[in-house]
Amino acid sequence: MKTSVVIPTKDRIQEICLCIDSISKQSILPNEIIVIDSGENLRLDFVLKEKIPTIAPLVKILRVKASLTEARNIGVRHSTGDIIFFFDDDVILDSDYIKQVMNVFVNDPEEKIGGVMGNIVNMKRDVTSPFAIAKRLFFWDHFGDGRFLPSGLPTYVHGQDRIVPTEFLSGCMSAYSRKVLHEFVFDESLGRLGGYSYLEDADMSYRVSRKYALVYTPFAKLEHHPSAKGRIDRCSLTKALVFNHLYLFEKNMPKRFTTLLSLCASLFGYLLFTGLFQGSPQGIIGCFKGLVTYLRIALKT
């Protein structure tokens, strides 16, 4: 099977060079690497040729001003692989990452598996800290069995030591079959309406997992080093978090008493956490902005 790698990036030359360097050291190289560059710096192709000359011929750089979800869809349209890997530009892969993910697809002759992700080895599986307990209490995303919560947020299987099914694939390192990507696309409304493509991986995973099996393998390892570059401010982040959560709940979740109660608990938790624990006026303002923006759009439709 042919493999494609899709990496959106924006003004993170150092980070994406480290990422692509780790891809160049894979025991099984991809057939192509498609970089969707939304940044201002036009030197990325020259830097890659200078620093990683062995992999440069496989790299196709598309310069497009696009949100994260738009960039991933653009990457899919320009890809040729049977399996398409999506990476954030601030991850570093173990040398067998692609091989281990492909092993899962290859050992699925009935093609029931639609997507696979590996293990973020520098992320500790925390289930006992006060913050982890609070996340469970307010139906936020937390470490668990990979299933979605009634609030519409996911749980994470990262840190487990065996191959297990999951409903959620992390956006920083997911791989989907082309068959799946013919049926499902990343929702571009998240970036356009909410201002930031937050929870885009939860949305994609939820929809795909209703039809196909998704799998986590601990043998495909990488490190995620979230870059501070290109991050939005606290107010904009919480606005996007609240808006996108409401948007995706309305879009994907059944409207039952338990799910609605869980959603309300999550929204209250956002306010409580940003106000009481973080002491962030900007975070509180962002929560209300996200709610108001969602209501304005919902009422119009």
Percent of the chain with pLDDT over 90: 77
Confidence of residue 277 (pLDDT cuts 50, 70, 90): low
In a domain? residue 143: no
In 3D space, the residue among 84, 99, 87, 93 whose CA is nearest the CA of residue 27 turns out to be 99
Confidence of residue 230 (pLDDT cuts 50, 70, 90): confident
Q: Is 35 helix (H, G, I), strand (E, B) or coil?
A: strand
Residue 39: per-residue pLDDT: 86
Residue 212 predicted with pLDDT over 90: yes
In a domain? residue 141: no
Question: What value does the mean pLDDT take over residues 23-35?
Answer: 97
In a domain? residue 146: no
Residues 208 and 244 occupy one common structural domain: no
Q: Give dist(CA 196, CA 186) in Å, integer.
A: 13
Structural domain span for residue 247: 234-300
In a domain? residue 148: no
Percent of the chain with pLDDT over 70: 99
HSE-up (13 A, CA, CB side) for residue 94:
16
In a domain? residue 137: no
Residues 174 and 214 occupy one common structural domain: yes
**Which of 182, 200, 224 lies at the terminal end of a domain, its last residue?**
224
**Which of 224, 242, 276 lies at the terminal end of a domain, its last residue?**
224
Residue 153 predicted with pLDDT over 80: yes
β-bridge partners, 157: none
Question: What value does the mean pLDDT take over residues 230-237?
Answer: 84
Residues 243 and 208 occupy one common structural domain: no
Residue 216 predicted with pLDDT over 90: yes
Q: Give dist(CA 25, CA 29) in Å, integer.
A: 8
Confidence of residue 301 (pLDDT cuts 50, 70, 90): low
Residues 163 and 18 occupy one common structural domain: yes
Question: What value does the mean pLDDT take over residues 267-280?
Answer: 80
**Which of 172, 196, 224 lies at the terminal end of a domain, its last residue?**
224
pLDDT tens per residue across span 44-87: 888 888 888 888 889 999 999 999 999 999 999 999 999 999 99
Structurally, the chain folds into a number of domains equal to: 2
Q: Is 185 helix (H, G, I), strand (E, B) or coil?
A: coil
Question: What value does the mean pLDDT take over residues 168-192?
Answer: 95
In a domain? residue 176: yes
In a domain? residue 136: no
Question: What value does the mean pLDDT take over residues 191-203?
Answer: 89
Residues 187 and 243 occupy one common structural domain: no
pTM: 0.94
Residues 181 and 285 occupy one common structural domain: no
Q: Give dist(CA 70, CA 190) in Å, integer.
A: 10
| Amino acid letter, 147 | R
Residues 252 and 282 occupy one common structural domain: yes
In a domain? residue 178: yes
Residue of higher predicted confidence among 145 and 233: 145
Residues 205 and 249 occupy one common structural domain: no
Residues 18 and 62 occupy one common structural domain: yes
Residue of higher predicted confidence among 237 and 185: 185
Burial-class residue 269 by CB neighbours within 10 Å (0-12, 13-18, 19+): middle
Q: Give dist(CA 64, CA 76) in Å, integer.
A: 14
CB atoms within 10 A of CB 273: 20
Distances from the Cα of 226 to the Cα of 71, 89, 172, 280, angstroms: 19, 9, 10, 22
Question: DSSP of 202-268, one letter per residue?
Answer: HHHHHHHHTTSEEEEEEEEEEEE---STTPPPHHHHHHHHHHHHHHHHHHHS---HHHHHHHHHHHH
Residues 249 and 113 occupy one common structural domain: no
